Chains A and B, each alone.
Chain A
């Protein structure tokens, strides 16, 4: 996409930069739907004794329907996953391959600096590029998670084929991984993704980029200053752009100490719950 097509202007939000193409937004949406469906239809199988599990089963009109919904949704997720790699290959062929999402030493430095900044040990906030370490962690976790869940899921759903290659206890081992990874992935989305996209005071109640695909210049200065600088360096008609209009729609709650206070309590309770629930299971 040409740089000119990526930049637009809004009276309320100032300069707007295209961050996600329609294709990417659809990929996210399919992943969102299939992931949520798999979690809802899968957790009752893991926690079959829980009262909520029986309720979810009856919502589907029976176990077998719920289970087939799980399998179909899993297969759709794998198709979307496969498509993503076709998409990456096509992107690399049509443009040039981008490795911006891969972790670099800079990310390790930025994690430390971000924590230092938030603890008040430094006044300099790191200048994130196209993807910051939070986004990289999520993307790579999604790749890893889909590989583990997809592979183990297929092994369990086609046991006759699997045992042609490996002994049966291997299915049992992958079943344990499917079960563990499911909880890890669901919690990671609830904690990490829900915070970064919804509950972060910078975006509360929601970062709309997943729908509009756009990010304002004000947001870019905050979230991806290095990328913004690179874009601005690249374009030669800077004078024509109205760069002085600030985004009046975003950061509404960024300084709300009430919201931040409530969230601190929420995540503190979550941390206690996590330790109380999982540490006894670890021995």
Chain B
């Protein structure tokens, strides 16, 4: 049995070694050198790839040229950098990941990446040479999305019960992708979006069984403000602040007056004199 196991494992190791594409070894001859870089548009661009990082990724068995498709010989022809490289690599993802790429290409993220407004490419979320299957906790996921999505959206989420729960570690409450989807982030103005007016009830119903149309009417990313369409929650919270100040303030003042009264009486009734904060009763 032990021998069998040993044979199994050793063959596995051999297999793994064999599977590392030969072409990568050639690429790495130059690209694993530390400090390997070039200048483009006056900027220093590192060309170093850590073989250990690559070997640890889910793409460890892919030739470098699967993603860097245009690099077919040496010296490299038509090398692109920056945003152009991002778009080029993203296009090569769909060669294998066709279904997901279809969703992604419909998304706002692809539009922004393509137009050079931001880098929300596949690699931006999934990693580059260290690409892994994304198994994020809800907290890590919110952290990832909010690298870009800040301001009122983030503030509103933090104030919502969903946001508070997730930020405190909940595994059940809704994070960004639970409502918005991951690859098909369309924006609520697009009818096909899970957060469009039409699809919202169905999206809510994923967790909230038999959610009605009414249930989905209203903002999830809500910050209490007098400028909001619904001022009532805002004014209720303000009214409570003053109720707290007046009620608890009255209680504290009332207690202080009582204590002052007792302090005075304690002296009068008991004919005591103060020595080092302890009372000596002369009676």
Instruction: List A residues at the B interface (Cβ < 8 Å).
Output: 44-45, 48, 53-54, 57, 62-64, 66-67, 114-115, 117-120, 156, 159-160, 163-164, 167-169, 172-173, 175-177, 179-181, 183-184, 187-188, 191-192, 195, 200-201, 254-258, 260-261, 263-264, 267-268, 270-271, 274-275, 278-279, 281-282
B167 within 8 A of A: yes
CB <8 Å contact, B279 and A164: no
CB distance from B79 to the nearest CB of A (A): 47
Instruction: Give the residues from 236 to 283 in chain B that come closer than 8 angstroms, CB to CB, to chain A.
Output: 236-245, 247-249, 251-267, 269-270, 272, 274, 277-279
CB closest chain-A residue, reference B259: A264
Q: How many A-B residue pairs have CB under 8 A?
A: 177
Chain B nearest CB: distance from A257 CB in Å? 5
B211 at interface by CB-CB < 8 Å: yes
Given known A120-B264, A164-B214, contact A64–B254 (CB-CB < 8 A): no
Report yes or no: B251 in contact with A188, Cβ–Cβ below 8 A.
Answer: yes
Q: Which 9 A-B pairs have the closest CB atoms?
A: A180-B240, A118-B261, A168-B218, A63-B170, A255-B266, A163-B214, A176-B236, A176-B237, A176-B233
Nearest A-chain residue to B234, judged by Cβ: A176
Q: Are A160 and B211 in contact (CB under 8 A)?
A: yes
Chain B residues lying within 8 Å of A63, measured Cβ to Cβ, are: 165, 168-171, 173
Structural contact, A260 and B263, CB atoms closer than 8 A = yes
Q: Say what secondary structure dominates the interface of chain A.
A: helix
Q: Check A191 against B243 for contact (C-beta < 8 Å).
A: no
Structural contact, A53 and B241, CB atoms closer than 8 A: no
B84 on the interface (CB 8 Å rule)? no
CA distance A268 to B247 in the complex (A): 16
Report the count of interface residues on B (CB-CB < 8 A).
63
CB distance from A144 to the nearest CB of B (A): 11
Provide the main secondary structure of the chain B interface. Answer: helix
21 contacts between A and B (CB under 8 A): A48-B164, A63-B168, A119-B260, A120-B264, A159-B215, A160-B210, A160-B212, A163-B214, A167-B214, A169-B233, A172-B233, A179-B237, A179-B240, A180-B243, A187-B244, A201-B259, A255-B269, A256-B266, A260-B259, A261-B277, A271-B249
Please tell me if the beta carbons of A156 and B161 are within 8 angstroms of each other in the complex.
yes
Give the shortest distance, in Å, between A62 (CB) and chain B (any CB).
6
**Candidates A62, A120, A184; contact of B243 at CB < 8 Å:** A184
CB-defined contacts of A114 to chain B, threshold 8 Å: 258
Q: Which residues of B are in contact with A by a Cβ distance under 8 Å?
A: 158, 161, 164-165, 167-173, 208-212, 214-215, 217-218, 222, 224, 230, 232-234, 236-245, 247-249, 251-267, 269-270, 272, 274, 277-279
